[in-house]
Amino acid sequence: MSLALTAAQRSDLLARHRAVIDGSLRRKLATAAILVLLLGLFVYGLSTLEISPGRIIAGFGNLGTFIVLMLPPDPGSLARALLFVKALFETIAIAFLGTILAAILAFPLGFIAARNVVANRIVHFFARRSLDSIRGVDALIWALIWVNVVGLGPFAGMLAIMTSDLGAFGKLYSEAIEASDRKPVEGVTSMGGGRFQQIRFGLIPQVLPVIASQVLYYIESNTRSSTIIGIVGAGGIGLYLSETIRTLEWQQVSFLILLILAAVTVIDFISSRLRFAIIGRRAI
């Protein structure tokens, strides 16, 4: 049987779906309005931020001056270098513990926020909005809050990472659960399994590799975030980075930046290997 349409069939198809093919006037006007709005927003941003080629060129010149001042990287002394390395491991610990705690606490919240697990609209609405509220506050703001609650130090940093990631993990988990295949759940149900067995044997095996991959990625990402929150007193290497910038110790700044880059590179390598091992692929 030929799949090609005859001229009559094609004409009939075009006639019946002409409005969809050509598009309605209302849709065209809405598209044009959105494009004009985006263009206006772009122009407004250019004028508000006072962007100019001259300032960009001058900025590159200043950047070159700073790079020259940063060379060669020098911690100043062996004792100072050891202090920086200790702060780096403190930053890694903040990122690791904060991410792991957030992942554990968000696990049940992800199931509560998933439509295919909790059908109650009210529970689902409040669960999603609560996660959005937590996720809507940046980790730096949470660091400022926790520093005032528990005091200066890495404990506040760990709580900031944990709180910030709690909302993000809850949202990601719920979306992964909602995108899961219904067939394994139906198979467990057909064998007489209850609600707990449906989740345990039908949903969790599907979403666990995705969840593990997301957690590994966030550990790497939070290593950088922990550097930033350290600037506001939440512990870690960020505190020393802020201090050396204020005192214009540019060679120490470059040494700290190299330490951070080295740590992120190593963590990225390890996490990528673990991610590929979890999802059943080999890292290239």
* 128 plus 14 within the same structural domain: no
* 152 plus 270 within the same structural domain: yes
Indicate the SS3 state at residue 203.
helix
Sole residue written with tokens 């809850």:
170
Q: What is the pLDDT of residues 58-106, one digit of tens each?
A: 777 777 777 888 788 888 788 888 888 888 888 888 889 999 999 998 8
Joined together, the tokens standing for residue 159 give: 């709580």
Number of domains in the chain: 2
* 59 plus 135 within the same structural domain: no
Task: Kindly report whether the peptide bond that precedes residue 72 is cis, defined as omega within 30 degrees of 0.
Answer: yes
Does 1 fall in a domain?
no
* 154 plus 126 within the same structural domain: yes
Q: What is the pLDDT of residues 127-184, one digit of tens each?
A: 888 888 888 888 888 888 888 888 888 888 889 899 988 888 888 888 888 777 777 7
Q: What is the average pLDDT across 267-278?
A: 78
Question: Residue 157 in contact with residue 226, Cβ under 8 Å?
Answer: yes
* 42 plus 97 within the same structural domain: no
Q: How many other CB atoms are found less than 10 A from the CB of residue 151?
A: 10
* 89 plus 62 within the same structural domain: no
* 105 plus 160 within the same structural domain: yes
Amino acid at 200: R
| Domain range for 29 | 7-66
Q: What is the pTM of this model?
A: 0.72
* 102 plus 34 within the same structural domain: no
Share of the chain above pLDDT 70, in %: 87
The burial of 219, by beta-carbon neighbours within 10 Å (0-12 exposed, 13-18 middle, 19 or more buried), is given as buried
